[in-house]
């Protein structure tokens, strides 16, 4: 007899799903026997939670039978103070990926166009295509930078949304403030521009954009930020947008009710309170990034300028083989087909292992 669950599915599914790629998460750590395993595939913060943040979460866990504050009131007010913007401009969500889903749902429908650089964050084409809108990927330059002129040239009457990832995941460069300001000035005011600053806290470039200033100056500019990377809360899922009131209100409408859980809400507040401590960790990671980049440059590697907590190897067809060599050394990295490989800057021992794999690779290739 056939089990009911094994019948071929006959329910109607939206045709757009056929073209939607599945999200490929960073693989978990694994290593050959006797080799220390490091997961450097998801740009996570390698440090464990701060004791003060963990204690706040432990306390809140005692009330997990209750729904969270749906309006995320305390965190929204804390963020408004932290950023010096009115609270009505803050919209939160389950990770900045969740908030981006809210932005797409608020701005796009069937047949609309969304422009983003490519290769960039892999959630972009997924969220755009799910909405029924058309993804318009614009190739990065040879040095892994956004080609803002080409992105401006791609704008049409049906463009509703433009995503700028600065610094760009997975290649690493941030866009320049002046070029971004000029780009935004050329975008029609009805088109929403999202500035995804997931790695903001790691940026040291002198010409890095002041995205909040661009938001203040332009009603169509939205800043997107997360607690997942520098703040080390990836597992709790909380991010936010800073948007002008009409769009911010729309983002609250398109949010999944109670999407930001109660532990995430208190952990984000505690992390903002503990920023001085967290900032030291971010500084340590930025120093490690400089050490890794200097070592790789001395080995002869020519890599895109990274402003984030990762380095990108544009290996082309050798990407798979290079990722396998890293895996042999206990380093689980993130390969992107035949484009390149991304490796997260983590604790010094993991970074040492990465430097060693890269040295060995250059001697044999």
Ligand X SMILES: *Cc1c(COP(=O)(O)O)cnc(C)c1O
Give ∠ CA 256-262-267 in degrees, rounded to 5: 120
Q: Show Cβ contacts of residue 180 under 8 Å, excluding neighbours closer than 6 positions.
A: 148, 164, 166, 195, 209, 211, 214
Per rule CB under 6 A, is residue 79 in the interface with ligand X?
no
Task: Choose which of 174, 228, 327, 344 interacts with ligand X (CB under 6 A).
Answer: 228
Task: Choose which of 56, 159, 192, 226 interacts with ligand X (CB under 6 A).
Answer: 226
Q: Which is nearer to ligand X, 193 or 329 (CB)?
A: 193
Identify the helix (H) or strand (E) that includes residue 294: helix 275-299
Sheet of strand 340-344: strand arrangement: 310-313, 340-344, 334-336
Q: Show Cβ contacts of residue 68 under 8 Å, excluding neighbours closer than 6 positions.
A: 258, 260, 261, 262, 265
Q: Which is nearer to ligand X, 289 or 329 (CB)?
A: 289
Q: Which is nearer to ligand X, 96 or 159 (CB)?
A: 96
Q: How far is the CB of 61 from ligand X (least distance, A)?
A: 21
Piece in contact with ligand X (CB under 6 A), picked from 8-16, 19-27, 89-97, 260-268: 89-97
Q: Which residue has the tokens 């969220």?
A: 127
Q: Which is nearer to ligand X, 38 or 231 (CB)?
A: 231
Q: How far is the CB of 35 from ligand X (least distance, A)?
A: 27
Tell me which residues in 235-254 interact with ligand X (CB under 6 A).
Answer: 239
Per rule CB under 6 A, is residue 304 in the interface with ligand X?
no
Burial (0-12, 13-18, 19+ Cβ within 10 Å), 191: middle
Per rule CB under 6 A, is residue 126 in the interface with ligand X?
no
Task: Choose which of 53, 60, 91, 97 interacts with ligand X (CB under 6 A).
Answer: 97
Q: Which is nearer to ligand X, 215 or 229 (CB)?
A: 229
Q: How far is the CB of 43 from ligand X (least distance, A)?
A: 6
Q: How many CB atoms lie within 10 A of CB 46?
A: 21
Q: How far is the CB of 182 from ligand X (least distance, A)?
A: 23
- What does the DSSP assignment read for 49-68? PPHHHHHHHHHHHTTTTSPP
Q: How many CB atoms lie within 10 A of CB 201?
A: 20
Cα(202)–Cα(289) distance, integer angstroms: 10
Piece in contact with ligand X (CB under 6 A), picked from 28-36, 90-98, 215-223, 353-361: 90-98
Q: How far is the CB of 199 from ligand X (least distance, A)?
A: 7
What does each C-alpha distance from 95 to 188, 191, 204, 277 come to in angstroms?
28, 23, 24, 22
Q: How far is the CB of 320 from ligand X (least distance, A)?
A: 22
Piece in contact with ligand X (CB under 6 A), picked from 57-65, 223-231, 276-284, 286-294: 223-231
Q: How many chain residues are in contact with ligand X, going by CB under 6 A?
A: 14
Question: What's the chain's Rg over C-alpha atoms?
Answer: 21
Tell me which residues in 145-174 interact with ligand X (CB under 6 A).
Answer: 165, 169
Task: Choose which of 56, 92, 96, 171 interacts with ligand X (CB under 6 A).
Answer: 96
Piece in contact with ligand X (CB under 6 A), picked from 57-65, 211-219, 227-235, 255-263: 227-235
Buried residues in 143-170 as b, exposed as e (16+ CB within 10 A): ebbbebeebbebbeeebbbbbbbbbbbb
Q: Which is nearer to ligand X, 98 or 176 (CB)?
A: 98
Q: How far is the CB of 250 from ligand X (least distance, A)?
A: 19
Per rule CB under 6 A, is residue 196 in the interface with ligand X?
yes
Give ∠ CA 308-320-95 in degrees, rounded to 5: 40
Q: Which residue has the tokens 């963020």?
A: 79
Q: How many CB atoms lie within 10 A of CB 19?
A: 10
Piece in contact with ligand X (CB under 6 A), picked from 60-68, 73-81, 95-103, 250-258: 95-103
Residues that bind ligand X (CB under 6 A): 43, 95-97, 121, 165, 169, 196, 198, 226, 228-229, 234, 239
């Amino acid at each position: 007899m056939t089990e009911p669950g094994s019948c071929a599915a006959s329910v109607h599914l939206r045709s757009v799903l056929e073209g939607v790629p599945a999200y490929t998460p960073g693989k978990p750590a694994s290593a050959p026997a006797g080799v220390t395993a490091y997961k450097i595939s998801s740009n996570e913060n390698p440090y464990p939670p701060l004791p003060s943040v963990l204690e706040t979460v432990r306390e809140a866990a005692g009330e997990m039978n209750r729904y969270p504050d749906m309006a995320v009131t305390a965190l929204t007010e804390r963020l408004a103070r932290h950023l010096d913007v009115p609270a009505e401009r803050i919209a939160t969500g389950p990770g900045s990926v969740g908030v981006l889903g809210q932005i797409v749902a608020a701005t796009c429908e069937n047949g609309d166009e969304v422009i983003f650089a490519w290769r960039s964050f892999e959630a972009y084409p997924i969220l755009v295509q799910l909405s029924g809108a058309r993804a318009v990927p614009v190739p990065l330059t040879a040095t892994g930078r956004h080609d803002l002129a080409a992105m401006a040239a791609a704008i049409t009457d049906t463009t509703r949304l433009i995503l700028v990832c600065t610094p760009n995941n997975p290649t690493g460069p941030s866009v320049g403030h002046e070029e971004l300001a000029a780009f935004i000035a050329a975008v029609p005011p009805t088109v929403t521009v999202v500035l995804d600053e997931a790695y903001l806290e790691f940026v040291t470039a002198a010409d890095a954009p002041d995205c909040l200033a661009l938001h203040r100056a332009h009603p169509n500019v939205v800043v997107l930020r997360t607690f997942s990377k520098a703040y080390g809360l990836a597992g709790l899922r909380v991010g936010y947008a800073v948007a002008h009131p009409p769009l911010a209100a729309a983002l609250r409408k398109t949010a999944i009710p109670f999407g930001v859980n109660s532990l995430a809400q208190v952990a984000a507040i505690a992390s903002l309170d503990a920023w001085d401590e967290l900032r030291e960790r971010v500084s340590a990671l930025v120093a490690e990034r400089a050490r890794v980049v200097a070592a790789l440059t001395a080995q002869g590697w020519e890599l895109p300028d990274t402003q984030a907590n990762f380095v990108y190897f544009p290996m082309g067809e050798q990407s798979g083989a290079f990722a396998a060599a890293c895996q042999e050394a206990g380093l689980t990295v993130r390969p992107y087909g035949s484009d390149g490989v991304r490796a997260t800057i983590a604790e010094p021992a993991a970074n040492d292992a990465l430097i060693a794999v890269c040295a060995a690779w250059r001697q044999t290739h």
